[in-house]
Amino acid sequence: MSRRLTALTLLLRCAVKRRLARVPGPEAAERDFARNARLFLRQPPHLRQVRGGGGLHWISAGPCVPGRALLYFHGGGYVAGSPDSHRGLIARLSRYAATEACAPDYPLAPHAPFPAGFEAALAAWAQLRRLGYRPRAIALAGDSAGGGLALALLARLCAEGTPPACVVAFSPWTDLAMTGDSLRRNRRRDPFLPVERIGELVATVRGNADPRDPRLSPLYAEFPGPPPVMLCHGETEILADDASRMADRLRGFGGRVLQEVHPAAPHAWPVFDGWIPEARATLKRAGRFVQESFSDTSR
């Protein structure tokens, strides 16, 4: 654990977590997220971002292999975040994967509750297919809620027999039924997320839907013939069990899962690339994983 990570977790615990516990509603949360993103989410040099058709943002920060795409879904609890807020993280993952990233500007709750986000994910996939990308030339990725969205989309694609090359998910939120023991076990240990607000957030996001709907909670989905999946989470997160049980679920369907568990990193720590070395190390490993998965599908 680096000194920078120690300092970051202290800052998150003393400032951000306390603020999140008091923020009055989703609109304020969205404003806070946008402000904090400008302060904390650093951007790499040579970042390139182009808004394309279908609400897609094309983001990269270096040479990319043509004919491949990384479809990335940003985090923010389905109530905050955007391709703009996450473009630093997305650009660096694009660089290490040598693959141009495509990030949809999916609609947020409460103005667009479930299944609006999932439908936008399907639309983004369909747009890439219309642009000529083969399923095995597309990788899925996301952090937090975006990681859950990527895994929900994976379940649909596996059911249709058109899975992507691979999936990378950083601290994915996969169980909106809130059955994970880590919600209790890590209540005090998590330096970032206040567990006392998660029930309110779930109610805002799901509307009248069943929280176990696999389009919302991929932990309850089926994954016939899944591609390789990389799951990253911290041991102290309140959502640690969302990731660890997701790994078990995928393995139950014969999937190859690369699981990276950090003993002390906060929720979705790769977003802090440029501040802590642990973020850069994870992003580099994720980039190699994507490249190797593309290589395997091309044989």
Residues taking part in catalysis: 144, 237, 267
pLDDT tens-place string over residues 195-240: 999 999 999 999 899 999 999 999 999 999 999 999 999 999 999 9
Q: Which of 46, 50, 124, 136 is nearest to 92 (CA)?
A: 46
Per-residue pLDDT at 299: 58
Task: Provide the residue-wise pLDDT of the chain in tens; the chain has 299 residues.
Answer: 799 999 999 999 998 888 888 877 777 777 777 777 776 677 877 889 988 777 899 999 999 999 999 999 999 999 999 999 999 999 999 999 999 999 999 999 999 989 999 999 999 999 999 999 999 999 999 999 999 999 999 999 999 999 999 999 999 999 999 999 999 999 999 999 999 999 999 999 998 999 999 999 999 999 999 999 999 999 999 999 999 999 999 999 999 999 999 999 999 999 999 899 999 999 999 999 999 999 987 65
Q: Is the peptide bond before 227 cis (omega within 30 degrees of 0)?
A: no
CA dist 145 and 217 (Å) reads 10
> Which residues 6+ apart lie within 8 Å of 16 measured at CB?
36, 192
Per DSSP, the three-state class of 69 is strand
pTM above 0.85, yes or no: yes
Per-residue pLDDT at 298: 64
